[in-house]
Amino acid sequence: MDPEAAKYIGAGIACLGMAGAGIGLGNLFGQFLSGALRNPSAADGQRATLLLGFALTEALGIFSLLIALLLLFAV
Amino acid sequence: MAAGDSPIKQFEIKEYFPIEVFGLNASFTNSSLYMVIAVSLISLFLILAMGGRSLVPTRLQSVAELIYEFVRDTVRENVGPNGMQFFPLVFSLFIFVLVLNLLGMIPIPGVTFTVTSHLAVTAAMALLVIGIVIVYGFYKHGLGFLSLFVPSGVPGWLLPLMVVIEVISFISRPVSLSVRLFANMLAGHIALKIFASFVGLMLGAGIFGILLAPLPLLLTVALTALEVLVAVLQAYVFAVLTCIYLNDAVEGGHH
């Protein structure tokens, strides 16, 4: 296979890792909403935890995007 | 911006004053310039805001006090009351990363540069944090600090495996701490640049392109808002994780 082509295919495959981050983020906000609707008075106190979880989860998806970008521009 | 520009050209380091120390390249670059600007801005802001030290704070002073109290509560919650001597470290790291992230979001053609989008910078900060954890942990607990790697309540036959896993997870901490910040900034800025270049590409693609060009422009505006949120969040995450790691050094292996 042409190495150039393999590079682009690899970048595409690396982006699949972001699906995991998508599932995680959906899970995170879904669980927060279901908890918050059950007990709205406790929801405000957990907003910082929610954002922390969002940033940590999103970072994992960005790791795979980083691999794709490295393949595209740096290799 | 030419449409053919590589989206990673914005991370290029330019040397302003070439300096060489013992064969090492220690030039004053645009990265150094942004760090100097950030430190001057922070110092100027804090000195101006807290110079009055009035009992009833002025508007500027209450902003400085808000940031101070926010970081203080984070440290108290995550490191514990015994860890307040680390407050200056966490405060400096938080506000330095925050200001560098936000400065990188201000677009100045040809000049704008995000210091935290370079692994060398974030790795230096992460290694500093982990170095402090290791040195302070051994200083305070002696060899008892090593009990950090021995989780309690694990059956004996599983213990060797668990110790190996704990050691690997400890070693990967500086890696994940630095790569998280660096990758977020890098990927965010590349995504912004790519979507912005769509606008230019579509404007040059006939009447349909011109009609559709506002769409990527709107997306770029939305992405900029997200990036500002990410810039603040990642500074906060860096500070919180620093606190959690410091907690291991302060409390020893009792977790």
What is the rounded distance in angstroms from the CA atom of residue B61 to the CA atom of residue B51? 9
Give the C-alpha separation, B206 to B200, whole Å: 12
Which ipTM did the prediction report?
0.75
Inform me whether the C-beta atom of residue A47 falls under 8 Å from chain B C-beta atoms: no
Residues of B with CB under 8 A from a CB of A: 6-8, 179-180, 183-184, 186-187, 190, 230, 233-234, 236-237, 240
Lowest average pLDDT, out of B129-143, B193-207, B237-251, goes to B193-207
Instruction: Check CB contact under 8 Å for A58 and B186.
Output: no
pTM over 0.80: yes
**Structure tokens belonging to residue B79:** 């490191």
Pairwise CA distance, residues B136 & B245, whole Å: 11
CA atoms within 13 A on the CB side of B73: 7
At B3 the pLDDT is 43
Give B248 to chain A, closest Cα distance, Å.
20
Rounded to an integer, what distance in angstroms lies between the CA atom of residue B146 and that of residue B47? Answer: 42
Inter-residue contact B112 to B101 (CB < 8 Å): no
Q: How confident is the model at residue B2 (pLDDT cuts 50, 70, 90)?
A: very low
pLDDT tens digits along B38-58: 999 999 999 988 887 777 788
Q: Per-residue confidence at B89, pLDDT binned at 50, 70, 90?
A: very high
pLDDT at A48: 79
Q: Which residues contact B118 (CB under 8 A, 6 or more apart)?
A: B11, B13, B31, B182
> Which residue in B101, B90, B117 sits closest to B41, CA to CA?
B101
The dihedral built from the CA positions of residue B184, B190, B193 and B196, taken in this order, carries a sign that is negative
Alpha carbon B127 to its chain centroid, in Å, reads: 13
For residue B16, the distance in angstroms to the closest alpha carbon of chain A comes to: 24
